[in-house]
Amino acid sequence: MLDHDFYNRYTPTVARDLLGCFWVRECRGKIFRGMITETEAYRGFHDLGSHAAKGKTERNAVMFGPAGRVYVYLIYGMYWMLNIVTEKEGYPAAVLIRGVEPVIKSKVHKVSKVALDGPGKVTRFLQIDKALNGHDVTLGEKLWIERPKQLPRRKIIASPRIGIDYAKHARHWKWNFKLDAS
DNA sequence: TTCGCGATGGCCT
DNA sequence: GGCCATCGCGAAA
């Protein structure tokens, strides 16, 4: 299980290192697993694409807290966004989880590779909503992240982040990280 | 294949 | 009142 020290680092590095790791979600006696395939870094007071650029509010307060907590918020009235807080306490930063490949074993023991290629689809699969906002993923309860035995040998593509064209110069930062399709 | 748009509600000015 | 770190559908091409 990934610990506080893993998350308490430079956010784009954490975002990159999370690729290939596995979300584990324990909910109502069931376990859901999925490999992280796409992430995005949001960092500091001057990143105009980040909620924290407008200062601390009730909504984004978790971003200012200790690393390893989950920042969950609602967007477009219907989708929950899942982030994991990074860096030192007091410095607002987080990694948005944009893509996951669920590990699903069917009745014939085949492993399907259905890609969840969007942050709203990720939270639907992991059954995440506001109730988990602020949850500590270093506890190993309900929701946490595991390092894989072997990292996938897939190329990492760095691109500008999605949906933040309003963010002035920050829109060009290549803080979206994605495992190349294999 | 891409494009346009409606759903839907909390947040911020 | 406008905007938003989105998604899925249907039409156009």
End-to-end CA distance of chain A: 26
- Verify if strand C has an atom below 7 Å from the CB of A125: no
Torsion angle, CA of A143/A101/A87/A156, rounded to 10 degrees?
A: 160
- Verify if strand B has an atom below 7 Å from the CB of A77: yes
Per-residue model confidence as pLDDT tens digits over A74-125: 999 999 999 999 999 999 999 999 999 998 765 555 555 678 999 999 999 9
- Verify if strand C has an atom below 7 Å from the CB of A42: yes
Which nucleotide has the least CA–C1' distance to A130? B10
Model pTM?
A: 0.95
Q: How would you write the pLDDT of chain A (182 residues) with one tens digit per residue?
A: 999 999 999 999 999 999 999 999 999 999 999 999 999 999 999 999 999 999 999 999 999 999 999 999 999 999 999 999 999 999 999 999 999 999 876 555 555 567 899 999 999 999 999 999 999 999 999 999 999 999 989 999 999 999 999 999 999 999 999 999 86
